[in-house]
A and B are shown apart, each in its own frame.
Chain A
Amino acid sequence: MSKFKKKKSGELPAISTASLPDIVFMLLFFFMVATTMRETTLLVENKLPYADQVEKLDKKDLVMYIYAGKPSPRFQSKYGTESRIQLNDKFADLKDIAPFIRAERASKREELVPLLITALKVDKDANMGLVSDIKQELRKENALKINYTTKKGDVSQNRN
């Protein structure tokens, strides 16, 4: 009687991979939700200094970024090694800051304009002359809330 056939013994059944896509999709959704895309490509060197008395900068849509630092090696032949400002995707001069702030403000809803913060992402080897000039421009435009973006760490790491 072969109604109850004995199972073949010894052969391992193949592991089902049918749930693999589900697992991968789960991971995929996690990263999709957690992702914030880099909006600008950096043209300048941007090693941020360290500080430990920091505040978090949430609400990324209310932040205007100003980058400053030495041009990256591939731009040094064209722009030299003196620290430069970068706004959006291109190098800028001091006089470009005011139009940049105005454009950023125009793109936001009116009630959000007073909440805008300017984040200064300045390379740690830049000198203060440039930073003071930027601050002066921001004062002229009445963009008074600023944030010196830093990495979290002890200040002694700034030495080298």
Chain B
Amino acid sequence: MAKRAAPEVNAGSMADIAFLLLIFFLVTTTIETDTGISRKLPPMEQNDEDVIIKQKNIFTVLINGKDQLLVEDELMELKDLRKAAVEFLDNGGGTGDDACSYCKGKHSPSSSDNPDKAVISLKNERETTYSTYISVQNELVAAYNQLRNRRAQELYGISFDEMQADYDDVNWVGNKTKLKERIEKIKTEYPQKLSEVQ
């Protein structure tokens, strides 16, 4: 008896099955990663010792329940906040030990001594909307980033953002320990001192 050839399996519907799966994954896919503003909360421990900060080293930002901004006891629009914060942080009005050699501000004695001493104090009310709060946070972080970028550009000819991107990039060729040191140096020169009043 002649051997029969095994019948071929019909693969015509394979495409349909694959399409079905494809559409399922297309629908459930979210490719983008989340982005956001990272913050660190202060720890809970009670320390009774009051740290005394000179009034001129504090930059108060108050957001009221109607989403209005009160910056250093004056009403301000959101768009002016970044500039005001930069001016405050970069003032460098200190003398002697507190002098700031890299500040480019007005060196006014009535504003902050140096970026290390300067503290931004943010206070909000319970009725403040979240979007306004985020906008203000964003502007303040932007002020710090602007100063850091400027300083990094001066020292190393590359912006702070790029330095950080390089540091996170696994394919970047170069000395990462040195880069880390540079990033830390910029961070100590313009530390983010943003305190939130509860």
Contacts and interface: CB of A to CB of B under 8 A. Distances in A.
A113 interface: no
Contacts of A125: 129-131
27 contacts: A34-B31, A35-B28, A36-B30, A49-B130, A50-B134, A53-B145, A54-B36, A55-B35, A56-B33, A56-B35, A58-B33, A119-B36, A122-B130, A124-B130, A126-B129, A128-B128, A129-B127, A131-B130, A139-B41, A139-B43, A140-B44, A142-B44, A144-B40, A145-B41, A146-B38, A150-B35, A150-B138
Interface residues of B, number: 47
B19 interface: yes
Interface in A110-157: 117, 119, 122-129, 131-132, 135-136, 138-140, 142-152, 155-156
Contact of A117 (B11, B38, B132): B38
Contact of A150 (B14, B18, B36): B36
A152 B142 CA distance: 14
B125 interface: yes
A57 B37 CA distance: 9
Interface in B29-67: 29-31, 33-44, 63
Contacts, number: 155
B39 A25 contact: no
A34 B29 contact: yes
Interface of A: 17, 20-21, 24-25, 27-28, 31-32, 34-38, 49-58, 60, 63, 117, 119, 122-129, 131-132, 135-136, 138-140, 142-152, 155-156, 158
